[in-house]
Amino acid sequence: MDEIDLALIQALKNDARTPFRDIARKLKVSPDTISNRYRKLQKNGVIQGSTVLINPEKIGYNSVIILMIDVEPEYSSWILNELIKMVDIIVVTETIGDCDLMAIGVTRNFEHLSDLTLRISNIPHIKNVQVSFLIRYMKIYPEYFII
């Protein structure tokens, strides 16, 4: 990666919808250069996509929850894949520490939370599920990823 790649990433961190033409003009290179660099960064896994950040409250979710899940270790990867398929689960990762897996999910109300927790608990090879509520919504700011 060189200065052009870093500047491209910085521009997209600030606003992922910035037109390549604007980035190219600022960097004094052609739009094709920026387009080619972007594709190369994607191919190499540096840029893994772009997304829209959604406020869960605005679309009917009243709670963001963290699920700490203990599993039988040999089934950890399989369970992770089962969890990420669930509609209300937005992040799943393996962890080292107090639990084997951690998931972040969203729920509309207590009944929805109870149903989600029960569905997860009923997945084979899960030993325990603990739920914590986020009391202030987590905000993700791409600009905090320092390169």
Number of domains the chain is built from: 2
Q: For residue 141, what pLDDT is reported?
A: 63
49 in a structural domain:
no
Q: For residue 98, what pLDDT is reported?
A: 92
> What range defines the domain where residue 14 resides?
3-43
Residue 62: give its domain's CATH number.
3.30.70.920
Q: For residue 13, what pLDDT is reported?
A: 87
50 in a structural domain:
no
- The 89-94 sheet, strands edge to edge: 89-94, 101-107, 63-71, 126-133
- Examine the domain organization and report whether 91 and 36 are in the same domain: no
Asked if the model's pLDDT at residue 147 lies above 70, the reply is no
Residues 100-110 pLDDT 10s: 999 999 999 99
Residues 6+ apart with CB under 8 A from 120: 67, 69, 83, 86, 103, 126, 129
Residues 6+ apart with CB under 8 A from 75: 124, 125
- Examine the domain organization and report whether 62 and 126 are in the same domain: yes
Residue 30: give its domain's CATH number.
1.10.10.10
- Examine the domain organization and report whether 65 and 114 are in the same domain: yes
